[in-house]
Amino acid sequence: MADLVYVLNGPNLNLLGTREPDIYGADTLDDIAGMLEDRARELGLEVEVRQSNHEGHLVDWLHEAQAEGARAVLLNAAAFTHTSVALLDAIKAIRTPVIEVHLSNPHKREAFRHKSYVGMAAHGTIAGFGAQSYVLALEAAARLA
């Protein structure tokens, strides 16, 4: 489905809304999914929102996105952003564009968060706008050829 956008979320993002709201905001992952579904309808897209605390699931879902012919993947790999060569390799292995998404701005945080393996292969990165980062990334995905 060329009009499908996968939205993949990594570890601890299931705790959004209660986890460090001063950094990540008060929106839950369900709130974000609802915002994305509404905006996707306006853009003529569909979204498939998933979350896992397991790196291998994210790798499998990246492969699946390509197999299903998805238009793009929005990926908030959370902590795996800074550690996962497996995600880097998976992004490089598929043709589906991946847009890296972060609620906070990693460059305003601890030094170890400044390196992004995901960003090394992503089509682009949107960070620092809270839940709106996802909406901005979806709008960018809608404009991809």
Residues annotated as part of the active site? 24, 102
Exposed, middle or buried: residue 95 (CB in 10 Å: 0-12, 13-18, 19+)?
Answer: exposed
Locus of tokens 């906070």: 104
Q: Phi/psi at 70 (nearest 5 deg)?
A: -60, 150
DSSP 77-143: -GGGGGT-HHHHHHHHH--S-EEEEESS-GGGS-GGGG--TTTTT-SEEEESSTTHHHHHHHHHHHT
Query: Strands across the sheet with 98-102, in order?
Result: 46-51, 4-9, 72-76, 98-102, 124-127
